[in-house]
C-alpha cells in the first residue's frame, strides 16, 4: 500500500471524530427547546379552550388555572374614576379576559399550584402573554407579594393612568380582606363561604362574590357553610364563575 493511501486511512477516523465533537459542541450552544418543552409538560402545562371564572382565573379541561403574578379586581368590585363616579372594574377585568381568549386555544405554562390546588400559570393566546396584557391595560395589579414578573407592565399602566390607575382603586387583596372580615362576623362559627346548590351543580360563593348577598343557605337542600376555600374544593364544590 502506498504512503498516500495509508495517510488517507489514518486521517479518516480522526476527521470523523473531529466532526462529531464539533457537532456536539454546536448542539450545546442551541437553546434547550425540546428539554424545556418536556419539563413544562411534566410540570402540568395545559392547553385548550378556556372558560373565565373571574378576572384572573380560568378553567381549562376542568382544571382551574390562576394567572400567576397578577391580581385582578374581584368581579363585584368597583373602582374610582379620575373626575367623578365609579366603574365596575372587576366585571371589566373578567370581560376583557373573556375577549382575549374568545374562540381561541389557550396554553398555560405551570408555575406550580397554590394552596387551593389551582395551577399557577403564565397563559398565552397566539403567543401573547395574557397575564401581562391585563396588567398593561390597567385591569390587574402586579401581585408583587408573590412575583416581580409584571412590575414593568404595571408601571406603564400607572404612567398612562389607564384602568385601575385612572382614579382611586383598592387593591384586590385589601378588598378581599375587608369583605371576609365583615362576612366572618355574622357567619356561623365564622365560616363565611356559602355553598349553594343550583341546577348547575354545587357552587360556592366567596364574600366578595357579586351574588354573595343574594344567596341564602338552605341546609335542607344540602347547602352549607365552609370555613375555607380549600375545604369547599376538597368537598367537591366549585367556585361561582362569571360565565
C-alpha–C-alpha distance, residues 111 and 120, integer Å? 5
CB 131 within 8 A of CB 152: no
Beta strand pairing call for 128-129 and 119-125: antiparallel
Terminal CA-to-CA distance of the chain, rounded, Å?
A: 84
Check 66, 96, 179, 224 and give the catalytic one.
Answer: 66
Instruction: Identify the burial level of 206 via C-beta atoms within 10 angstroms of its C-beta, where 0-12 means exposed, 13-18 middle and 19 or more buried.
Output: buried
CB 100 within 8 A of CB 119: no
Adjacency order of strands within the sheet including 238-239? 224-226, 193-198, 201-205, 238-239
| Known catalytic membership, residue 82 | no
CB 53 within 8 A of CB 97: no
Residue 224, number of CB atoms within 10 A of its CB: 20
| Known catalytic membership, residue 74 | yes
C-alpha–C-alpha distance, residues 229 and 206, integer Å? 8
C-alpha–C-alpha distance, residues 87 and 81, integer Å? 7
Provide the β-strand partners of residue 203.
Answer: 196, 238
Check 74, 170, 223, 229 and give the catalytic one.
Answer: 74
Check 111, 118, 179, 224 and give the catalytic one.
Answer: 118
Catalytic positions are 66, 74, 118
Amino acid at each position: 500500500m502506498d504512503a498516500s493511501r495509508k495517510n488517507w486511512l489514518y486521517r479518516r477516523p480522526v476527521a470523523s471524530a473531529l466532526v462529531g465533537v464539533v457537532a456536539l459542541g454546536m448542539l450545546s450552544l442551541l437553546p434547550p427547546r425540546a428539554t424545556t418543552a418536556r419539563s413544562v409538560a411534566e410540570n402540568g402545562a395545559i392547553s385548550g379552550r378556556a372558560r373565565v371564572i373571574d378576572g384572573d382565573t380560568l378553567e381549562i379541561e376542568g382544571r382551574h388555572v390562576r394567572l400567576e403574578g397578577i391580581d385582578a379586581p374581584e368581579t363585584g368590585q368597583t373602582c374610582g374614576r379620575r373626575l367623578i363616579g365609579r366603574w365596575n372594574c372587576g366585571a371589566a377585568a373578567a370581560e376583557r379576559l373573556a375577549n382575549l381568549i374568545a374562540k381561541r386555544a389557550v396554553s398555560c405554562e405551570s408555575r406550580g399550584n397554590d394552596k387551593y390546588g389551582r395551577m399557577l400559570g403564565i397563559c398565552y393566546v397566539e403567543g401573547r402573554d395574557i397575564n401581562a396584557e391585563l396588567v398593561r391595560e390597567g385591569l390587574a395589579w402586579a401581585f408583587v407579594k408573590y412575583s416581580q414578573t409584571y412590575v414593568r407592565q404595571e408601571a406603564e399602566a400607572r404612567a398612562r393612568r389607564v384602568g385601575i390607575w385612572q382614579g382611586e382603586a383598592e387593591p384586590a387583596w385589601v378588598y378581599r380582606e375587608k369583605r371576609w372580615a365583615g362576612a366572618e362576623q355574622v357567619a356561623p362559627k365564622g365560616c363565611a363561604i356559602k355553598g349553594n346548590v343550583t341546577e348547575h351543580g354545587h357552587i360556592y360563593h366567596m364574600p366578595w362574590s357579586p351574588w354573595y348577598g343574594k344567596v341564602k343557605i338552605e341546609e335542607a337542600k344540602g347547602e352549607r357553610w365552609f370555613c375555607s376555600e380549600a375545604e369547599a374544593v376538597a368537598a367537591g364544590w366549585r367556585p361561582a364563575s362569571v360565565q
